[in-house]
Chains A and B, each alone.
Chain A
Amino acid sequence: MAEPTQESPSSPVPRLKCVPLGNVVAAYDRHSGRTHVLDPLTAAILEERWLHGIEADGEALSSAVAGRLGCDRNELLLQLVGESLARLRSAGLC
């Protein structure tokens, strides 16, 4: 469902354009034309997915996110990752 849009056969353009704004990330979804303001955790999840193709729900994703944020992969993080994924799904972003 979440494919990057292709603008030409030879140069795929990433679906999400991100601009860091202090401690949040402004994101433009080229596929839907919607704009999102994401907390750092959600932004980290999206970046890991889009840049590194790490699938949702996997251990790899939460490990990568933990690494990115500089924290342990603990219960709380897993819960927050789950909530963020739910938000992303309802926004049609993954």
Chain B
Amino acid sequence: MQTIESLAEPAVADALCRGTLELRTGPFTTRIRSEDTLIVAELRRLYAAHPVRLNPDFSDFHVEVRSVSGPRRWVRRQVTFLFDGREPFKPLPAVQSFALFEWGLNWCIASSAHRWLLMHAAVLARGDDAVVLPAPPGHGKSTLCAALAFNGWRLLSDELVVLDPETGEVWPLARPINVKNQSIEIVRKLVPTAVMTQPVPDTLKGTVAHVAPPIDAVSAMGERARIRWVVLPQWQQGAATTLEPMSPGEVFPALIENAFNYEVLGEDGFDALSLAARDARGFHFRYSDLREALGVFEDLARS
């Protein structure tokens, strides 16, 4: 099996230039075209261990990141993302091209992958028991997710839960973890050896960086997991670490609220989430100390 790191840089750059490089992230394959040097460099670093194919036959998504035409091609260069020829977003400054690629791939999945129930949450696993962490922004989800991912929990995804409504299993994506602002420093200290992009300031979300997923998460991208715990995290300055049980009746709406395509899945979506709410243990989780938080999750795993 070929990975990006098994290819020499000129081969990667050439394949990207011609749009013949296909990247696998869990159940999704993406054919990428780009001449952007930042894209080439960051794909090689952040997706080093991911499986790739050259000259693929069928790919789920065909994407391109390219410079816009016109004056912005040269002056304060902007880049744009295309999903099979269509531009879903406004262009962004060229320095944000990798972040744009990541957001764009989220868009491709969220807007068309209705074979699955998709939720906006982090999901990690211990063995094949998964913990889902739904949270609106500002609750500390991505910092916690990164901490867990590098402390014995297998990363499935930091933002997109891909749930198979037929089997109730969650599919890993094992993609880079998106961290922002203060979180960047915290993660750097927590995991000094992690591969990270250069922080990019002034994006719509503040300063943004991506952290390469741990190798074990990437090699296990074919191993699905079942939802065993649903934890709603809330980081709060100075808060004591508390884990409060949530009833299934509370877990159910929490899952629905964070689902992208619940309505589209209709009754299958209802089945998938009502059963997940019934069978998983739910918790509200408040914390300020990351180490203590990790301890709580260890206890959870052992229970």
Contacts and interface: CB of A to CB of B under 8 A. Distances in A.
Given A30-B267, A33-B266, A19 B249 contact: no
A56 B251 CA distance: 31
Contact of B270 (A22, A24, A28): A28
A46 to B, nearest CB: 16
Contacts of A21: 247-249, 251-252, 274, 277-278
B252 A37 contact: yes
B205 to A, nearest CB: 31
With a 10 A CB-CB cut-off, give which of B262, B266, B274 has the most chain A CB atoms.
B274
Contacts of B275: 19
Interface string B232-273: 000000000000000111011100100000110011001000
**Main DSSP-derived SS at the B contact region:** helix
A22 B270 CA distance: 16
Category for how many chain A residues contact B? 10 to 19
Contacts, number: 40
Interface in A15-67: 17, 19-24, 26, 28, 30, 33, 35, 37
Contacts of A19: 270, 274-275, 278
A17 B267 contact: yes
Given A21-B252, A37-B252, A26 B270 contact: yes
A35 B249 contact: no
With a 10 A CB-CB cut-off, give which of A17, A19, A26 has the most chain B CB atoms.
A26
Contacts of B270: 17, 19, 26, 28, 35
A37 B270 CA distance: 11
Contacts of B253: 37
Given A19-B275, A19-B278, A21-B274, A37 B249 contact: yes
B267 A28 contact: yes
A24 B256 CA distance: 16
Interface of B: 247-249, 251-253, 256, 262-263, 266-267, 270, 274-275, 277-278
Given A22-B248, A24-B247, A33-B263, 15 more contacts: A19-B274, A20-B278, A21-B249, A21-B278, A22-B249, A24-B248, A24-B249, A26-B270, A26-B277, A28-B267, A28-B270, A28-B274, A33-B266, A35-B262, A37-B249
Which 3 residue pairs of A and B lie closest in terms of their CB atoms, listed nearest first? A24-B249, A21-B248, A28-B270
9 contacts: A19-B270, A21-B248, A21-B249, A22-B247, A22-B249, A24-B249, A26-B274, A26-B277, A28-B274
